[in-house]
Structure 1
Amino acid sequence: MATIGINHLGLTVRDLDQTTSFFSECLGWEVLARDDSYPRSTVSDGTCRLTLWQADKTQAITDFDRKTNIGLHHLALEVASKDELLAMAETVRIWPGVKMEFEPEPLSGGPRQHMMFSEPGGIRLEIIWPAS
C-alpha cells in the first residue's frame, strides 16, 4: 500500500481572515470553503490545498520557531518562470504584515531561484522557480 500525495496541509494561523486574504488576494488562490463555527477556511492554487485553522485567541499564542519547534519548517510553493517569481516578490514585499526573509536569489548556485518570507499570520513560505 502506498500514498499518492498530499490531500491538504492544515496550518494553524494567528488571524484566519488575514491569512485567508493573503492567499486569496495576494497570491491569487481560490477560497474553496469557510466554516466560521470551527473556524477554518480552505484555499487552493488549483494544485495545492491548504486548510487554515484559527488559533485559539483566548489562550497565549506562541510564534513558531523553525529551529526549536517540531513540525513545519516552511511551505515551499513553485512558480513556472523567473518572471513570475520576480512579479510575486513585487506583490508580496508590499503586502501588509509580510516579513521578507530574503528577496529572490539563486538557490544552490542557480539557475534555480527562490525567496523566503512569512505571511502576515506567521507561516514561513518559500517561493521557488526550479528552472526546469
Structure 2
Amino acid sequence: MSTKGINHLGLTVRNLDETTSLFIDLLGWKLLARDDSYPRTTVSDGTCRLTLWQADRSQPMTDFDRKTNIGLHHVAFEVGSKEDLLALADKIRVWPGVTIEFEPEPLGGGPRQHMMFLEPGGIRIEIVWPAQG
C-alpha cells in the first residue's frame, strides 16, 4: 500500500481574501469552496488543490521564515511554456503586496526557468517552466 500524491496542501495565510484573490485573479485558479465559519477557502488549478486557512487575527502572527520555520519552504507551480512564465511574471510584478525574490532565470543551468515571489502574507511561491513537452 502506498500514497497516490497530494490530495491538497493546507496553508495558513495572513489575509484570506488577499491570498484567495491572488490565486483566483492573478494565477487563474478556481474557487472550489469557502467556509466563513472556519474560515477557509479551497482553490484549484485543475491539477493541484490548496486549502487556505485564515490565521487567527486575535493572536500575534509570526512571519514566515524559510530558514528557521519547520515545515513549508516554498510551494512551486508549473506553467506550460516559457511565454506563460514571462507573461505571469509581468502580472506578478504589479500585483499589490507581492515581493519578487527573483525574476525568471535559468534553473539548474537551463533550459528550464523559474521565478520566486512572496504572496502578500509572505508565503514563498515558485513558478517553474520545466522546458519539456
Q: TM-score, normalised by structure 1?
A: 0.99
- Secondary structure of the equivalent of 1:50? strand
Task: Write the distance in 2 (CA, Å) between the matches of 1:44 and 1:93.
Answer: 22
Q: Deviations over 1:31-54 (max 9, x none)?
A: 000000000000000000000000
2:45 equivalent in structure 1: 45
1:96 lines up with 2:100 in the alignment: no
Deviates more, 1:115-124 or 1:33-42: 115-124
Q: How many residues align?
A: 132
For 1:123, the equivalent position in structure 2 comes to: 123
Deviation of 1:99 after TM superposition, in Å, equals: 0.3
Per-residue deviation at 1:121? 1.9
- Are residues 1:20 and 2:34 paired? no
Offset, 1:122: 1.4
Aligned to 2:80, the other structure's residue is in SS state coil
Structure 1 residue runs without a partner (length 5+): none
Residue 61 of structure 2 is matched in structure 1 by: 61
Separation (CA, whole Å) in 2 of partners of 1:6 and 1:54: 21
Report the Cα offset of residue 128 of structure 1: 0.3
Q: Displacement, 1:109?
A: 0.8
What SS does structure 1 have at the residue aligned with 2:50?
A: strand
1:108: how far off? 1.1
Deviations for 1:84-104, whole angstroms, at most 9, x for unmatched residues? Answer: 000000001100000000000
Which consecutive unaligned segments of at least 5 residues does structure 2 have?
none
Partner of 1:30: 30
**Structure 1: 4+ residue segments shifted above 6 A:** none
In 1: Cα distance, 2:122 partner to 2:29 partner: 18
* Distance (whole Å) between structure 2 residues aligned to residue 31 and residue 73 of structure 1: 24
Code of the residue aligned with 2:81 in structure 1: it is S
Q: Could you tell me which residue of structure 2 aligns to residue 79 of structure 1?
A: 79
Secondary structure of 2:103's counterpart equals strand
Q: What's the secondary structure of 1:53's corresponding residue?
A: strand
* CA RMSD of superposed structures (Å): 0.4
